[in-house]
Chains A and B, each alone.
Chain A
Amino acid sequence: EAGVTQFPSHSVIEKGQTVTLRCDPISGHDNLYWYRRVMGKEIKFLLHFVKESKQDESGMPNNRFLAERTGGTYSTLKVQPAELEDSGVYFCASSRQGRVPPRLREQYFGPGTRLTVT
């Protein structure tokens, strides 16, 4: 099966501009997560979708970040307007949901989108 894909792989934008990151999870995975790693820091959770619903968005830094998952398939993460501190690598991950044992509910990660705000 195809893995988690993310687009673009790298984005360079100026402060104040808007950027939209896209994540395509593994087919059939209802759970979709966004994480971010700022340079030199640990990978941090941003939010979690179950199908099209936001299950947990406690990690979203502020209202400049907007995540959507229309139809419960792919997801987008928009940053508007971008600030310098938004630079980092944004990871998407997906996992199964439903009546599967915890042992099977591992998260599969995409390669990440490296965002550079100048």
Chain B
Amino acid sequence: AQSVTQPDIHITVSEGASLELRCNYSYGATPYLFWYVQSPGQGLQLLLKYFSGDTLVQGIKGFEAEFKRSQSSFNLRKPSVHWSDAAEYFCAVNDAGGTSYGKLTFGQGTILTVHP
């Protein structure tokens, strides 16, 4: 069965600093990978996704992620964090490709705190 690990439960950065949130997955086939963000009182919002092709994917709000098959990783990055980025971030993998679309398996989430 596939699994997703986010090693960091809580990360604190200063506003303007760079950010990297780690995500490792375990999946037999080529994974479909996602990063979601949940701000307080809001639903999960998709930041970016990787299905195939270019391993560096750009998302919304200035985020990017790099798929590294050799390391089974899909780390999320942002060069300069804004106070509004404080939220909880989830990495997820989809267990189906082709013509179907299956359930998402999530990591434990990483809470990001941004100091002024």
Contact = CB atoms under 8 A, between A and B. Distances in A.
B49 A111 contact: no
Interface in B45-98: 45-46, 49, 51, 90, 92, 97-98
Contacts of B109: 42-43
Contact of B103 (A41, A45, A109, A110): A45
Contacts of A3: 43
Given A103-B49, A106-B34, A97 B103 contact: no
Contacts of A105: 101
A52 B43 CA distance: 24
B43 A91 contact: yes
Given A43-B106, A102-B32, A103-B49, A91 B44 contact: yes
Interface string A37-54: 000011111001000000
A41 B108 contact: yes
B57 to A, nearest CB: 11
Given A44-B106, A56-B103, A97-B101, A106 B44 contact: no
Q: Which residue, of A4, A59, A109, A111, has the highest number of chain B Cβ atoms within 10 A? A: A109
Chain A interface bracket (under 10, 10 to 19, 20 to 34, 35 or more): 20 to 34
B49 A106 contact: yes
B36 interface: yes
Interface residues of B, number: 25
A75 interface: no
Q: Which residue, of A45, A91, A107, A110, has the highest number of chain B Cβ atoms within 10 A? A: A107
B102 A103 contact: no
A25 interface: no
14 contacts: A31-B101, A41-B108, A42-B107, A43-B90, A43-B92, A45-B104, A59-B103, A102-B51, A102-B101, A106-B49, A110-B43, A111-B41, A111-B43, A112-B43
Given A33-B103, A42-B107, A102-B32, 19 more contacts: A31-B101, A33-B104, A35-B106, A42-B106, A43-B106, A45-B103, A45-B105, A56-B102, A91-B44, A93-B104, A102-B97, A103-B51, A105-B101, A106-B34, A106-B49, A107-B104, A109-B36, A111-B41, A111-B42
